[in-house]
Amino acid sequence: MKSIYLDYASSTPLANEVVAEMVSAISNNDFGNPSSVDHEYGKNAYELIEDCRKDVANLINADQREIIWTSGATEANNLAIFGSYEFNLKNKSGNIITSMTEHKSVIEPFKTLEKKGLRVLFLSPKKNGEIDLNELEKTLNKDSLMVSLMHINNETGVLNDIESIGAICRKKNVIFHVDAAQSIGKIPIDVDNLKVDLMSLASHKIYGPKGIGALYINGKTMGRIAPIIKGGGQERGIRPGTLPTHQIIGMAAAFRLAKQHMNNDLNHIRKCRALFLKSISHIKDAVVNTDEVSTFPGIISVCLPDLDSESIIFGMNTIALSKGSACTSDSDEPSHVLKSMGLSQEEIRGTIRISFGRYTTMNEVSIAAESLVKIVTHLKMIRGQ
Amino acid sequence: MESLLRQYFSDNNSVYIASDHADINYHTGVAIQVNGDFVKLYLNLKEDRIIEAKYNVSGCPFMIAITAFYIERIKNKTLLEAAEIQDFNIEKTLELPINKKDRLFLLEDALKNCIKQINRGK
């Protein structure tokens, strides 16, 4: 029997519509190199890719010329940060600002730039995991060059107020990069309203294929990002490499579907969350690590104090869930996100992440909640509680 | 081997439950790790032989399973026999991964502390 999948924040299954479009792209004569526009094969692939670029831009109210394809959000984050550095930040002395709750693909590039001489300032989140706008304002000064903050946190679901952060950065004339890997296609995004300069986009978190993503670079910033890999002149010279047509077609299909399903998806996961939390409410000491107001409903980070998340997950063997983020859960390192929110080692150890998606059924939510209650009861009993 | 691991992980036959077992005079030994994992053993002896053994444990699935596995096997053994933990072949039977081998030390420490308590009472 296949286990119930409740790890949508880690990755999502491909939507059938996406599979159909990708299979068609692979099976048809769309194999031409989109850079070889001197013949119909290349021209055909080029046109398909430009149509896809429009679809991706459309979801965030951007212009298609502002979308640069990458291999995923990790590469997009690296390109945004190192690309800005290579273009001109390396000639400046100043500070760049991020948060302790960011994904490793932002934190590690920032640490690298710190070694190269830039001053890196890490914001601590508020207790609920959100970025403190007052702290950001206080931290920003005339030497600030760039701010990089995520939209929805992958471990906790915390939703940052990107619109207010964007306004602060724009006022201070500081480059603002947003890692939107977890928010794209799940909540409405308008890059103009949010005043974002750079935004990293993923495909596989919204029912598209892995291995493809994009970096949104607004018109003003477009000429100010240097490539971080060397090669041909693809993607306006910013991201060399032959484009994977079928992957891009898959991503665009997923983005079109996301636009179409966004309201329904959001309502659905709200119901999933409510049912799950209600069903586990009689586990006395279970604590949701975030507040309900500033959290994306699709992700629940729940702490079962004194218990070991590895045992909880092992005991819930018919449910696919995670003890932390997928990117760090293969290491024994305690979550840097939860740590920065002030959770103790014991609380971090007892934390699991459940995430819902378009295909989660209410029955699956009930089964998962029941399974959690059962394993918690067992583990407490053998602890002698 | 996961099924055996799972079997012992889920086993609660020999778990010490205060409300059920408080009237029995158990010798106890506990070992606690910095991260909060612990094993507490409860041994009831007749002369030098273990006639009943119970436990409480908290930790990863391996910690839980090895404790249940060990307790099941020490009943009717002498303390000396029980102390030879390597004789029970836990590591091989439950396919303990290299990074989980320290769980056996915790079990060993709990038993040593239990034996100390027994010796103090003699």
- Evaluate if residue B121 carries a pLDDT over 80: no
Q: Which CATH architecture has domain A16-256?
A: 3-Layer(aba) Sandwich (3.40)
- Evaluate if residue A1 carries a pLDDT over 80: no
Residue A327's pLDDT band (cuts 50, 70, 90): very low
Please write the tens of the pLDDT for every residue from A214-244. Answer: 999 999 999 999 999 999 999 999 999 999 9
- Range of the structural domain that residue B44 is part of: 2-121
Residue B122 has a pLDDT of 67
Q: How far is A354 from chain B (nearest CA, A)?
A: 19
CATH number at residue B117: 3.90.1010.10
Residue A254 has a pLDDT of 98
B54 to chain A: nearest residue by CA?
A: A382
Q: B58 CB near a chain A CB, below 8 Å? A: yes
Residue A324's pLDDT band (cuts 50, 70, 90): low
State the Cα–Cα distance between residues B39 and A220, nearest whole angstrom: 61
Residue A227 has a pLDDT of 97
The CA angle A259-A263-A267, to the nearest 5 degrees, is: 145
Residue to mutate among A307, A314, A352, A374, with most B CBs inside 10 A, is A314
Instruction: Using alpha carbons, select from A208, A177, A184, A163 the residue that is nearest to residue A60.
Output: A184
Average pLDDT over every residue of A97-122: 97
State the Cα–Cα distance between residues A78 and A68, nearest whole angstrom: 13
State the Cα–Cα distance between residues B66 and A159, nearest whole angstrom: 42
Q: Is B59–A311 a contact, with Cβ atoms under 8 angstroms apart?
A: yes
Active site residue A169: no
Residue A58's pLDDT band (cuts 50, 70, 90): very high
- Beta strand ranges found along B3-116 (DSSP E): 27-32, 38-46, 49-58
Residue to mutate among B21, B35, B102, with most A CBs inside 10 A, is B35
**Segment (H or E) for A352:** strand A351-355
Lowest average pLDDT, out of A20-29, A34-43, A332-341, goes to: A332-341
Half-sphere exposure of A123 (CA within 13 A, CB side): 28
Q: B37 CB near a chain A CB, below 8 Å? A: yes
- Evaluate if residue A309 carries a pLDDT over 50: yes
Average pLDDT over every residue of A16-44: 94
- Evaluate if residue A144 carries a pLDDT over 90: yes
Whole-complex ipTM: 0.95
Residue A330 has a pLDDT of 46
Q: What's the structural domain count of chain B?
A: 1
Residue A329's pLDDT band (cuts 50, 70, 90): very low
Residue A60 has a pLDDT of 98
Q: Which of A311, A349, A381 has its CB closest to that of B61?
A: A311
Q: Is B59–A349 a contact, with Cβ atoms under 8 angstroms apart?
A: no
Q: B36 CB near a chain A CB, below 8 Å? A: yes
What CATH class is the domain A4-10+262-383? alpha beta
Q: Which of A311, A345, A379 has its CB closest to that of B35?
A: A345
Q: How many CB pairs under 8 A join A and B?
A: 51
Residue to mutate among A311, A317, A374, A378, with most B CBs inside 10 A, is A311
State the Cα–Cα distance between residues A322 and A229, nearest whole angstrom: 33
Residue B119 has a pLDDT of 87
DSSP type of residue A207: T
State the Cα–Cα distance between residues A227 and A239, nearest whole angstrom: 6
Q: A317 CB near a chain B CB, below 8 Å? A: yes
- Evaluate if residue A128 carries a pLDDT over 50: yes
Question: Quick check: A328 and A286 in contact, CB under 8 A?
Answer: no
State the Cα–Cα distance between residues A275 and A363, nearest whole angstrom: 10
- What's the mean per-residue pLDDT of chain B? 92
Tokens of A378: 């067992």
Residues of chain B with Cβ-Cβ distance to A378 below 8 Å are 10, 12
Residue B35 has a pLDDT of 84
The amino acid at residue A19 is: V
Residue B1 has a pLDDT of 58
Q: Is A314–B40 a contact, with Cβ atoms under 8 angstroms apart?
A: no
- What's the mean per-residue pLDDT of chain A? 95
A331 to chain B: nearest residue by CA?
A: B99
Residue A29 has a pLDDT of 80
Q: Is B36–A317 a contact, with Cβ atoms under 8 angstroms apart?
A: no
Please write the tens of the pLDDT for every residue from A163-181. Answer: 999 999 999 999 999 999 9
Q: Which of A310, A345, A384 has its CB closest to that of B61?
A: A310
The residues that bridge with A68 in the sheet, in sequence order, are: A215
Please write the tens of the pLDDT for every residue from A288-303. Answer: 999 999 999 999 999 9
Tokens of A9: 């924040």
Residues of chain B with Cβ-Cβ distance to A317 below 8 Å are 6
Domain edges within chain A: 4-10+262-383, 16-256
Residue A239 has a pLDDT of 97
